Structure 1
């Protein structure tokens, strides 16, 4: 029997915050005890802050929160204190997260979907099943910053499917180079983007705004946006870090070369990526598939509550994976791989990988990360 601990959610009224509520309200280890959001929601019950049960309701998930959660008072996130609960989950915007998460981490752990602490050299940017060997850097973060707690951010949602698919191959055969082209879901641009796209589809024929290199409401329908600000730099930087080694107190990135191009496409959920690799050692398509199918990480070994039975699923169908049919395999907590074949390059292969950007890539993935930290005693 695992003792349940109290948790707080920072940014509880937003899209990712609501998913934290959904994934934590019946969790066997964690109990929601405090909710925090912006000043305009402070002092209201969670139901009032969301307009729950009204025509203006901002609760966008199908399953309703428990009455106990709806009755909790939402408090100003800037007033959150580290002595209130045992663990915090953060769904804050990055510009807010830096100060708030750092203040709380002086006392208690924070597991975050924000990027604010992702790129410091003392940060444990954690992808469950991939880089548990980096966990000791938490001790360095605490020592340097004088914290009793810590901040553990998740990787970028586009990085997650790619890095998870590369992990078994890198471990077994090595990698010389990786090239990736992404087709990323509209939900990756946030709730406002999804709402705008839905409104546009209903409008049927309304005038589109002028094209823009960044997100502009109404540009998704029947369109591909071949630019997502900062995305390619994040993928290139994070992938080699996640697969790197922990040597003498620092993370040494993997040495293979990586190139990528990121695109936004009119799909609701699920990031699809075309991946081209060159392995260091010779192998076959069947050996690649065997490595993926047999791969099990620490979440599976430890039997964590949110862990899928296997982190990577390989399909033999020539036209899969597809977001509409495959992004919720194992509850959206796996990388689904298909279309595996050799290409013209020496030791070259290509495949498609799909991962759920708002499940594994957001709140549910962060819950799994927290389960690991709790299971090894870093969350008390």
Structure 2
């Protein structure tokens, strides 16, 4: 590409937002130009907003340190700065559905890491190597939203996206049952034993909702 696409990260101060920023460093197609987060982080340099909460194993990219964080709720203002956004906002499901649709209605494509829209009928849940044809449903979503360019696309549950490629390779053999066991991190929000001491010598073997996701989403 002769010119990189300008990318915004919604929820850029959280664990997933940090991962997006880390993965997009020196990307050949995309450049992170805008970071949006909660009002408490808005107006601060990204490095200052993060403080000692940078959780990645690689250093914070120099290119984002001086970006002034915007208020994620100022949808029109954020959208005017970017070509599309990655969404990793930390809100209730109802709030996520509303704000992602609001961004889409500004004609901004939204690629979401959140689960809120996974069961919205006209929002494709995609692993591109497996089911890119599901993107065809976007034309119906655009009609519902009244957009020409704006839409929402989501990814499946993090565990599922790791084993779905294997299931796809097996489809021709018509498997009738799959037993999947996942080993989760201490916290999807990046907590460690150091900042969550009550987890030391504690075991929480069950995470609500994971089994249901694993049954439904691969379908």
> Same fold, TM exceeding 0.5?
yes
Q: 2:203 aligns with which of 223, 231, 237?
A: 223
Give the secondary structure class of the aligned counterpart of 2:133.
Answer: helix
Summarize the alignment of residues 37-76 of structure 1 with structure 2, pairs less than 5 Å apart.
37-51=37-51, 57-76=52-71
Contact 2:14 2:189 (8 Å CA) reproduced: no
Q: Deviations over 1:43-75 (max 9, x none)?
A: 100011011xxxxx1112232233331101001
Residues of 2 paired with 1:78 and 1:19: CA distance? 21
Deviation at residue 2 of structure 1 after TM alignment: 4.5
Q: State the partner residue of 1:84.
A: 81
Residues of 1 paired with 2:71 and 2:57: CA distance? 26
Give the secondary structure class of the aligned counterpart of 1:235.
Answer: helix
Q: Deviations over 1:80-136 (max 9, x none)?
A: 323321010111125242122110101110111001111111111111211112110
Summarize the alignment of residues 246-285 of structure 1 with structure 2, pairs less than 5 Å apart.
none
Deviation at residue 8 of structure 1 after TM alignment: 0.4
Summarize the alignment of residues 328-343 of structure 1 with structure 2, pairs less than 5 Å apart.
none
Normalising by structure 2, we get a TM-score of 0.89
Give the secondary structure class of the aligned counterpart of 1:183.
Answer: coil
Task: Count how many residue pairs are aligned between Structure 1 and Structure 2.
Answer: 213
Distance 1:237 1:70, change over 3 A: same
Q: Deviations over 1:300-333 (max 9, x none)?
A: xxxxxxxxxxxxxxxxxxxxxxxxxxxxxxxxxx
Q: Deviations over 1:256-311 (max 9, x none)?
A: xxxxxxxxxxxxxxxxxxxxxxxxxxxxxxxxxxxxxxxxxxxxxxxxxxxxxxxx
Residues of 2 paired with 1:24 and 1:199: CA distance? 27
Contact 1:94 1:115 (8 Å CA) reproduced: no
Residues of 2 paired with 1:2 and 1:152: CA distance? 25
Q: State the partner residue of 2:22.
A: 22
Q: Tell me which protein shows more strand as a share of its residues.
A: 1
Contact 1:36 1:80 (8 Å CA) reproduced: no
Residues of 2 paired with 1:28 and 1:162: CA distance? 27
Deviates more, 1:106-115 or 1:65-74: 65-74
Residues of 1 paired with 2:10 and 2:164: CA distance? 27
Structure 1 stretches lacking a partner, 5+ long: 52-56, 204-216, 241-380
Q: State the partner residue of 2:102.
A: 103
Q: State the partner residue of 1:155.
A: 156
CA RMSD of aligned residues (A): 1.9
Deviation at residue 224 of structure 1 after TM alignment: 5.5
Q: State the partner residue of 1:321.
A: none
Normalising by structure 1, we get a TM-score of 0.53
Q: Deviations over 1:127-148 (max 9, x none)?
A: 1211112110111111122133
Answer with 1 or 2: which has the greater Rg: 1
Summarize the alignment of residues 177-326 of structure 1 with structure 2, pairs less than 5 Å apart.
177-187=176-186, 189-192=188-191, 195=192, 197-198=193-194, 217-218=198-199, 221=201, 223=203, 225=205, 227-240=206-219
Contact 2:12 2:37 (8 Å CA) reproduced: yes
Residues of 1 paired with 2:157 and 2:127: CA distance? 10
Q: State the partner residue of 2:133.
A: 133
Q: Does 1:169 align with 2:170?
A: yes
Residues of 2 paired with 1:39 and 1:228: CA distance? 30
